[in-house]
Structure 1
């Protein structure tokens, strides 16, 4: 009888151990699943690319007075670019209209701008755009041999005093970032294009004529959101002024997209 009791107790102990082990195993599996879900969510959050927000003139800004007083190509190049030139093959100045090179252009064969090139430059007005393409020979620092290279800066003619956002450029970019954050959740992986929008800051300091200038993000909701944000920029603008202190409209370009693609 006593032996029978021992067998029963032993059997019950074995059953308890098995039940306890199964429960722990089930709990462990559930924990693993939850951990996996957390990792998956984190990956999704990190899938949004590093984004670029930029507001500036359409191309590199050069004051109208400096454009009209230019006499050589070096008036449009920085010191590092000047030092590279060993021999100039040709220089072409071309007016840009509607984001495209126009047929208004003139060629030269050295750093001195020709009379025709000077006429083109002096006919430009505020917010005209042009390129100065210089094809030249430069010395390779490692081999010492001459190589064919070129510079082709795109330039926007700006007033002597450009329009300024009263709260500062950083505050303006932050406004765009914060208020567009929710819209970025539709981005799938790295499938995001760049977009360029343009707008006018009027002589009264009011944002107007916001328009889709070029390209698209590939997401209509993001494109629309960015346009809406530009139309409703809070705060005030100090309008642009000419050299004589006359307030005038100024165009700006807003560029958005993946940082490595802008």
Structure 2
């Protein structure tokens, strides 16, 4: 059964430049017809050129935001992005373990600009988030840092391997269940440097699909289509890797991959 207005909670960091993190999540969720709610894990001073400063919020405040929306509005799906600290990762995992909802975990480690957003201790704590995740969505460098496909799937979650960091003229995105490959989608590589927030956008779109009642295969396809069109519609802002054009995405269903 589909939900007319899925309630999607983004647990992620704030990007002052509006390209990634909470801001990209809100835009994506809204454009796909969901109701966006947030639990901000960190505040960043950030633009298209990089991350200039990060202020981590206490775990207690992160959990207070989550509990506030869960207890009143309710949540159909969760998207996790930049988590900020190992303590926060463990606290969020413990809370979500009590809920029976779809959880999309985007294991953010490095921003598009190259800035580090997770230290070694935090990455080590990602295992607990993978234990509660329905699907994990690493790019190729993140996949390697997390120990590879089999290591992630051993947590019992599904896995999307995003191919944007690969080589060649085609991008290959793969969807795995613990038992093996479910779906493989190939698309023409888009020649663009306006890709800030691509991973956040994809994970949020996937969460909306799952929260609205789509099966994982359909949600996977929808998330790829939306993200590709958002890249093509990028407005060209800033001097570095610019944000996507979420607000200009209209008919993403007809994306010619």
Which TM-score tier does this pair reach, normalised by the shorter chain?
under 0.3
- Normalised by the length of structure 1, the TM-score is 0.22
Query: Which has more radius of gyration?
Result: 1
- Normalised by the length of structure 2, the TM-score is 0.22
Which has the larger strand fraction? Answer: 1
